[in-house]
A and B are shown apart, each in its own frame.
Chain A
């Protein structure tokens, strides 16, 4: 059991958890991740470590509600707990003085890019950060990024904040302006990382992307997270999660990530169904207990559902 010291939404559907995990906090390096399992029947999923505090023994993870597990996770509150957290997993980012590094974060991917951006800055790099999101709300960690970047650009798809457009539009402008770029790190949705890779390939700018394929154990044992890198299978959990963007077969990544789409839909539908049922029961019980001017306890609700 790992205790949730603090939990707060930092954007609609995106939550930050501060979790007590002293061993992980002590060892975490930028670029690494954790695998979590919420409860006894839960699946194992990889999640981003935004930062850690070795003194306090805590790690921060940032989670966007997408499927059943992330949705259920994001309902947990301060004082709650997560059954299993294992890590830090994966190879740390390669951090050295490259010169000028462009760090690109798309949506929740920014949380993964942040610790590496900070480390790049500490290593003496000039850090140019480009943050993107569908809209203003989905641009996260801007303030944190400003603290570790020389320049921060923000783009939104709908123009509700920063420049209207994609992170790659901003990257193109930098390239066209003749900005010297020695290294790019892009973390975000696959289409974004793929577009960055195509753009920097032509310019021969070394580019790293952090991949998030379907994963189970996270130690190299199962091979489920294999990605095709220059025609060769590599495991994101032990050989990655960062890979040279110009060597990754993004089409295969997209295809493999879709492997359980039907099952994922089914899980979400069942979760919603269960919740509607729970809400109905709760309302019924509440109506009944209002007559008794008592609020039903959780146990009563659970008991009523058990009986169904």
Chain B
């Protein structure tokens, strides 16, 4: 591992750096990429990465690191890129983030590091996500498992429930501290929402597999096809299988429906089902793969919602051949929780945004299939609890959008399987697990929890932050024995 220089070799004077434009991410052309599932963003070349890295102002008190949920030392890794030490840069990120190739692609940087970047004041922020992706991909291409230094074993065993972002982060941190780590996954592939939720064109499965392979090389053991709560309980893990601590990172789980008429019609999907069919089960490659999907070719498809899941769904629909692809969102575009880059990409690819629009009912074709959605126009009223302006229905504005497929992407609720099979595990009114914000400790000794199963649906990086805090909490518990 290389040492961090106190001063970088950046030859560009600070004033000049402010004038340098942000390097664009090379990407596939919209009219080509919207027909295939291959990755949209192609990644920086070494030259582009260097050009971009030179823009960093190297702040004395970096606000980017302050606003990163896992505290990545941005300035230091960017300096290492300027120095041409890409493996050093990757190692620097890895000190705080075990999944850089993933966060470099899916993290909402504008809400964290890039949003806090001082360059924003004069122009565009530093492309921190793009740079992170660059060094992570470089590391994967040049990864040498023999260089892994394993910490001396502590003799303690930790079970991680769920292999999504929080579980993988906790596993990576704990194995580096010398604990024996087993990850249990309910599905047949490792990665949780990264695998079933985020499409290939935004996060290729290969990237996840490679990151998981690195973790395997570090000593993490993965077991698929285990639904904790059903196949084995938390108490059995602790009392019969000899685990000293358990981390629960099972994700938000249950898809929310709207409770409007017609949701059971053929052609109406939850985003979770729609994306699982495509991402986990490869339904877009039917009949090469066995899992089927309804025929999207030339059809009108709408996704209800304005988050990343909604955009992933509608862009997938386009790639399945949808004739028209709509986003129906009840607030305005400013309130959309999706990453800015995804909104931009979706528009370029031909997605039509129908904002301030709320479906009231799904209409059938008389044969049990979806024919359309009766919608209502909305206007923005006073701010609600989330600080966003509440949509209010406009009387007499109802109209029907003809549709063959509708995907509901309005969020998720807590999956109850672990909670209902773990006596004494305190939950909130909505069924999420109660956990201490600093240590991620639950009401049960030795049991920690984090990610969406604690907070409700959030982002990959926030779940990773929780996994990281939990790993620290678990390490402390295992070394001191104090609860």
Q: Which residue of A lies closest to B253 (CB)?
A: A221
Q: How far is the CB of B354 from chain A (nearest CB, A)?
A: 24
Asked if B286 CB lies within 8 Å of chain A CBs, one says yes
Q: Given that A27-B232, A88-B231, A267-B287 are contacting pairs, would A221 and B276 also be in contact in the complex, using a CB cutoff of 8 Å?
A: yes
Interface hit among A132-140, A182-190, A253-261, A282-290: A253-261
What CA separation (Å) do A221 and B193 show in the bound complex? 10
Asked if A89 CB lies within 8 Å of chain B CBs, one says yes
Interface hit among B7-15, B221-229, B300-308: B221-229
Q: Given that A43-B290, A256-B266, A266-B287 are contacting pairs, would A23 and B273 also be in contact in the complex, using a CB cutoff of 8 Å?
A: no
Q: Is the CB of A222 within 8 A of B273?
A: yes
Asked if A281 CB lies within 8 Å of chain B CBs, one says no
Q: Is the CB of B255 within 8 A of A217?
A: no
Q: How far is the CB of A150 from chain B (nearest CB, A)?
A: 32
Q: Which residue of B lies closest to A260 (CB)?
A: B292
Q: Is the CB of B227 within 8 A of A223?
A: no
What CA separation (Å) do A16 and B472 show in the bound complex? 48
- As a 0/1 sequence over residues 264 to 303 of chain B, the CB contacts with chain A under 8 angstroms (1 = contact) are 1010011011001100111000111111111100000000
Interface residues in A50-88 (C-beta closer than 8 Å to B)? 68-69, 83-88
Q: Which residue of A lies closest to B282 (CB)?
A: A41
What CA separation (Å) do A298 and B454 show in the bound complex? 52
Q: How far is the CB of A111 from chain B (nearest CB, A)?
A: 20
Interface residues in A23-58 (C-beta closer than 8 Å to B)? 23-24, 27, 37, 41-44
Q: Given that A27-B230, A84-B225, A219-B415 are contacting pairs, would A42 and B290 also be in contact in the complex, using a CB cutoff of 8 Å?
A: yes
What CA separation (Å) do A276 and B295 show in the bound complex? 27
Secondary structure at the A interface, as helix, strand, loop or mixed, is: mixed
- As a 0/1 sequence over residues 424 to 454 of chain B, the CB contacts with chain A under 8 angstroms (1 = contact) are 0000000000000000000000000000000
Asked if A263 CB lies within 8 Å of chain B CBs, one says yes
Q: Is the CB of B226 within 8 A of A216?
A: no
Residues of the B chain whose Cβ atoms lie less than 8 Å from the Cβ of A42 = 290
Residues of the B chain whose Cβ atoms lie less than 8 Å from the Cβ of A217 = 186-187, 196, 276
Residues of the A chain whose Cβ atoms lie less than 8 Å from the Cβ of B415 = 219-221, 238
Asked if B138 CB lies within 8 Å of chain A CBs, one says no
Asked if A233 CB lies within 8 Å of chain B CBs, one says yes
Residues of the A chain whose Cβ atoms lie less than 8 Å from the Cβ of B273 = 216, 222-224
Residues of the B chain whose Cβ atoms lie less than 8 Å from the Cβ of A84 = 188, 224-225
Q: Given that A222-B270, A222-B272, A223-B254 are contacting pairs, would A86 and B417 also be in contact in the complex, using a CB cutoff of 8 Å?
A: no
Q: How far is the CB of B417 from chain A (nearest CB, A)?
A: 6
What CA separation (Å) do A259 and B186 show in the bound complex? 26
Q: Is the CB of B287 within 8 A of A43?
A: no
Residues of the B chain whose Cβ atoms lie less than 8 Å from the Cβ of A259 = 266, 294
Q: How far is the CB of B463 from chain A (nearest CB, A)?
A: 16
Secondary structure at the B interface, as helix, strand, loop or mixed, is: loop
Asked if B263 CB lies within 8 Å of chain A CBs, one says yes
Interface residues in A260-279 (C-beta closer than 8 Å to B)? 260, 262-264, 266-267, 270
What CA separation (Å) do A8 and B230 show in the bound complex? 28
Residues of the B chain whose Cβ atoms lie less than 8 Å from the Cβ of A88 = 230-231
Residues of the B chain whose Cβ atoms lie less than 8 Å from the Cβ of A221 = 196, 251, 253-255, 272, 276, 415
Interface residues in A224-241 (C-beta closer than 8 Å to B)? 224, 226, 228, 233, 235, 238
Q: Is the CB of A222 within 8 A of B289?
A: no
Q: Which residue of A lies closest to B251 (CB)?
A: A221
Residues of the A chain whose Cβ atoms lie less than 8 Å from the Cβ of B26 = none
Asked if B477 CB lies within 8 Å of chain A CBs, one says no
Q: How far is the CB of A72 from chain B (nearest CB, A)?
A: 9
Interface residues in B379-418 (C-beta closer than 8 Å to A)? 415-417
Q: Given that A23-B232, A223-B255 are contacting pairs, would A68 and B290 also be in contact in the complex, using a CB cutoff of 8 Å?
A: yes
Q: How far is the CB of A34 from chain B (nearest CB, A)?
A: 10
What CA separation (Å) do A43 and B295 show in the bound complex? 17
Q: Is the CB of A86 within 8 A of B227?
A: yes
Asked if A252 CB lies within 8 Å of chain B CBs, one says yes
Q: Is the CB of B276 within 8 A of A87?
A: no
Asked if B257 CB lies within 8 Å of chain A CBs, one says yes
Residues of the A chain whose Cβ atoms lie less than 8 Å from the Cβ of B294 = 259-260
Residues of the B chain whose Cβ atoms lie less than 8 Å from the Cβ of A256 = 264, 266, 368
Residues of the B chain whose Cβ atoms lie less than 8 Å from the Cβ of A270 = 287
Q: Given that A85-B225, A221-B255, A222-B276 are contacting pairs, would A44 and B291 also be in contact in the complex, using a CB cutoff of 8 Å?
A: yes
Q: Given that A85-B225, A86-B227, A89-B227 are contacting pairs, would A228 and B264 also be in contact in the complex, using a CB cutoff of 8 Å?
A: yes
What CA separation (Å) do A223 and B252 show in the bound complex? 13
Q: How far is the CB of A45 from chain B (nearest CB, A)?
A: 9
Q: How far is the CB of B163 from chain A (nearest CB, A)?
A: 13
Q: Is the CB of B281 within 8 A of A43?
A: yes
What CA separation (Å) do A264 and B451 show in the bound complex? 38
Q: Is the CB of B231 within 8 A of A86?
A: yes
Residues of the B chain whose Cβ atoms lie less than 8 Å from the Cβ of A37 = 188
Residues of the B chain whose Cβ atoms lie less than 8 Å from the Cβ of A222 = 255, 270, 272-273, 276
Q: How far is the CB of B323 from chain A (nearest CB, A)?
A: 19
Q: Which residue of B lies closest to A218 (CB)?
A: B227
What CA separation (Å) do A24 and B225 show in the bound complex? 10
Q: How far is the CB of B445 from chain A (nearest CB, A)?
A: 24
Residues of the A chain whose Cβ atoms lie less than 8 Å from the Cβ of B263 = 233
Residues of the B chain whose Cβ atoms lie less than 8 Å from the Cβ of A68 = 290
What CA separation (Å) do A238 and B282 show in the bound complex? 24
What CA separation (Å) do A233 and B272 show in the bound complex? 15
Residues of the B chain whose Cβ atoms lie less than 8 Å from the Cβ of A263 = 286-287, 292-293
Q: Is the CB of B232 within 8 A of A43?
A: no
What CA separation (Å) do A267 and B253 show in the bound complex? 30
Q: Is the CB of B272 within 8 A of A226?
A: no
Q: How far is the CB of A230 from chain B (nearest CB, A)?
A: 13
Residues of the A chain whose Cβ atoms lie less than 8 Å from the Cβ of B281 = 43-44, 216
- As a 0/1 sequence over residues 159 to 172 of chain A, the CB contacts with chain B under 8 angstroms (1 = contact) are 00000000000000
Q: Given that A69-B290, A260-B294 are contacting pairs, would A220 and B417 also be in contact in the complex, using a CB cutoff of 8 Å?
A: yes
Residues of the B chain whose Cβ atoms lie less than 8 Å from the Cβ of A43 = 281, 289-292
Q: Is the CB of A87 within 8 A of B277?
A: no
Residues of the B chain whose Cβ atoms lie less than 8 Å from the Cβ of A85 = 225
What CA separation (Å) do A41 and B288 show in the bound complex? 7
Q: Given that A41-B282, A233-B263, A264-B292 are contacting pairs, would A219 and B255 also be in contact in the complex, using a CB cutoff of 8 Å?
A: no
Most buried by A among B253, B272, B273: B273
Q: Top 3 nearest A-B pairs by Cβ distance?
A: A263-B292, A255-B368, A222-B273
Contacts A217-B196, A238-B415, A260-B292 given; 10 further ones with Cβ under 8 A? A43-B281, A86-B186, A86-B226, A86-B231, A221-B254, A223-B255, A224-B273, A249-B264, A256-B368, A263-B293
What are 26 A-to-B residue pairs whose CB atoms are below 8 Å? Answer: A27-B230, A37-B188, A41-B290, A43-B291, A86-B225, A86-B231, A87-B227, A88-B230, A89-B227, A217-B196, A217-B276, A219-B230, A220-B415, A221-B272, A222-B255, A223-B255, A224-B273, A226-B257, A233-B264, A235-B254, A238-B254, A256-B266, A259-B294, A264-B292, A267-B290, A270-B287
